[in-house]
Chain A
Amino acid sequence: MIEFKDVSKAYPNGVHALNHVNLKVEDGEFIYVIGATGSGKSTMIKLLNGEEVSDSGQLIVDGVDVGALKHRKVPAYRRNVGCIFQDYRLLPKLTVYENIAFALEVVGMRKKDIKNRVREILELVDLKDKARSYPDELSGGQQQRVTIGRAIANRPKILIADEPTGNLDPEKSLEIIQLLEKINQNFGTTIVMVTHDKVLVDEFKKRTIILDGGYVIHDSRVGGYRSV
């Protein structure tokens, strides 16, 4: 479960990115977070993956007080919270296989187990024939699928997606959202997805949170843009 308890965050330049946010996301939920540029969406993601710390309030993820984590404890926390980014953030000098395997190597998994797990994941994200390719040899949609594969490699309970379709055409966006739905349904992974994509939000209706000026101004269980 994810719980924002009166969380506020301001940056040194004076921008109040989040103001008194209270939010609860249950296990296995799939939610959208939408809002204009500068509404605080990215800050919410950064707090969730431990990159930033809130100024006040508390963020509890699966029982962990994220803001209280020491610098060296953050990576271990992230193994339980997979992250997907708009700009993919793959390691450019590693192949698709190696990029996914990396997430498993850091936890000290044995080579043989890694091989099996990566094969499973490549099948899931439909990239079996690209295992030996480098990121710059792939299309945007394919790179994003690698990122998703890497994010779920350690079977995290929570998946955070920061505009995962932001750089993709509608067709590829559809593939990505279908893949995320599959992960959500098959493995019960909680998914928090920040997006700009109105079409997706309307078509694949889910609980939708709207941020504006750092405030949560709407929390609709019905979903879709029209509901708000």
Chain B
Amino acid sequence: MRKWWTLLGYEIKYAWLGLRRHLLVSLSAMSAVMVTLFLIVAFLIVGVSVESFSKSVEQDLSIHVVLDPAIQSEEELQSIQEQIESLSQSDHVVFSSKEEELQLMIEEKGEAFQLYEGEENPLGNAFFVYAKDGEQIQELAKKIREIPGVAHVAYGGKSVTGLVALLAKVRTIGIVAIVLLLILSFYLIYNTIRTTIYSRSDDIIIMRQVGAENSFVKRPFEIEGIMISLCGAIIPFGLVAYGYPKLYESLHGYLFARILELVPVHTIIALSGSALIVSAILIGWFASFLAVNKYIREKR
């Protein structure tokens, strides 16, 4: 156990020495890592935001179901509500009495409608129906319209379903882009680290010649790879930690419309921080693991 610790100490020392004494190569590797990790985290933020946009848009998608003003009894209302709830696309139903409907109308169209308050209220009772999935809203509206007693059905129309579909598409593109970038960055980091190791392939042979076991040769390079990519992750993280709160502030937390709410700052920072650390460690380690293995096997 003691020997293991002693060896690890030396391995870390050599990783650090390698980094310091090949500073130029290390810096070029770091910048390659930096650029790709920045792209990854940028796409991640876009992806997470789109995800949150489409969630809030979908949540906000409700169908306004206005009933015939003649329908007043509890039993009739109950029966219509049950019929709507039994539809497979409906998620939940909220009742809105004709008094509440009038209040909404006054809010929307002006105080002139206050005239109708009380017994004069000509409006019917209504329901707000929420769909399970934004893309099913059209079909749900059609089915509700067929229920007897329903006078009128309204929802955002095709533009809303179009937005939902668009957001879904952007989300898919984001995921694909992240995966492609991960592969690209791995390849880039692998190549850079392989170049730095290639410039020291003679050293690897000498180390083995002097009696260094493969693990003792490999580990410093692996630690160095992790150090390089972690250093490369610092600047993208700094940009996110500094830039995103500024962006959030300047947009007052919304993108164009209230419905497109930006993801909170602390969520983005925590998410991108952990994504950067994990991907830097994994990519840095695996790339150098592959590269050093290639050279260690070259000579007996």
Contacts and interface: CB of A to CB of B under 8 A. Distances in A.
Q: Give the secondary structure class of A's interface.
A: loop
Nearest to A102: B210
A155 to B, nearest CB: 12
B206 A91 contact: yes
B3 interface: yes
Contacts, number: 64
B213 A78 contact: no
A93 B19 CA distance: 11
A76 B211 contact: yes
A89 B213 contact: no
B211 A71 contact: no
B10 A75 contact: no
A183 interface: no
B213 A72 contact: yes
A89 B297 contact: no
Contacts of B212: 75, 102, 106
Contact of A103 (B17, B211, B214): B211
A164 interface: no
A52 B299 CA distance: 9
Nearest to B205: A89
Interface in B197-219: 202-203, 206-214, 216
B22 interface: yes
Given A51-B300, A71-B300, A110-B6, A89 B209 contact: yes
Contacts of A52: 300
Interface string A84-122: 000001111110000000110111111100000000000
Q: Which of B3, B209, B210, B297 has the most CB of A within 10 A?
A: B210
Interface in A4-22: none
Contact of B7 (A90, A92, A108): A108
B208 A105 contact: no
B71 to A, nearest CB: 84
A165 interface: no
B6 A78 contact: no
A92 B17 CA distance: 12
Contacts of B297: 71
A44 to B, nearest CB: 15
A72 B210 contact: no
Given A75-B214, A78-B211, A93 B17 contact: yes
A108 B208 CA distance: 15
A74 B208 contact: yes
Contacts of B216: 106
A106 B211 contact: yes
A92 B200 CA distance: 10
- The 3 A-B pairs of least Cβ separation, nearest first, read A79-B211, A108-B3, A106-B212
Given A89-B209, A90-B206, 4 more contacts: A72-B214, A78-B208, A78-B209, A106-B10
24 contacts: A49-B209, A50-B300, A72-B214, A74-B300, A78-B209, A79-B211, A83-B209, A90-B206, A91-B203, A91-B207, A92-B203, A93-B17, A93-B21, A102-B207, A102-B210, A103-B210, A105-B10, A106-B10, A106-B210, A106-B212, A106-B216, A108-B3, A108-B6, A154-B211
